[in-house]
Amino acid sequence: MITQPITTLLFDFDGTLLDTNELIIQTFLSVLGKRYPGRFTREDVLHFIGPSLKQTFDNIDEGLTEELIQEYRAWNIEMHDQMAVEFDGVSETLRLLKARGVKLAIVSTKKHDIICRGLKLMGIEDVFEVVIALDDVVNPKPDPEPILLALDRLNAKPEEALMIGDNSHDIEGGQNAFVRTAGVSWTVKGEAYLATFKPNYMLQHISELLEIVEAPSV
């Protein structure tokens, strides 16, 4: 069946455009290591990448959630610029997509100020028309709310959009919003894991988006 061409790209941020994986892992290990010595391993905290901090810390100790979030953000902000780095080809590809008139947005479970810090670090503050952060919604991904909000602000339709991300929440969120989805093979959780959520595409490099938006999908 022929579907409408993709004219709108919605990106997760951390782990998709900016490699903050090690930063996130070390932040969790530092914060949780102080509270619960020896309880959490590197393998454990991999499962915390993707959900919001509230979702993660609620599952660990709901009574300490806000305190743990504050400790997490303090450590993460201090180390952010030293440990975060752009994935290969991201800035170049995004600028080419923008030049072609593709609508671009970020849909993230991070707070707005952290996303803006990452965009500044990458030198792409001017690329995205819309940034939807945790601050903007009541229900983060995989709820469709943030994706639908991004589409509304872009004046775009779900059938024209593609949600791109490195985590199950991105794929499930896209599916819940009835948009097509793309996983990224550079996900820290492994391509095979992300493939189990059945995204429409699995990107091996971000530049593949230049081909995906050129023609209708079949």
Q: Give the SS3 label for residue 188.
A: coil
Catalytic: 152?
no
Distance CA 119, CA 218 (A): 33
Please check whether residue 94 is in contact with residue 127, taking contact to mean a CB–CB distance below 8 angstroms.
Answer: yes
What are the CA-CA distances from residue 58 to residues 55, 167, 203 (Å)?
5, 19, 32
Helix (H) or strand (E) holding 107: strand 103-107
Q: Looking at 12, 14, 19, 170, which residue is catalytic?
A: 12
**Adjacent-strand bridge partners of 10:** 105, 163
**Can you read off the two tokens belonging to residue 84?**
């975060």
Residues with catalytic roles: 12
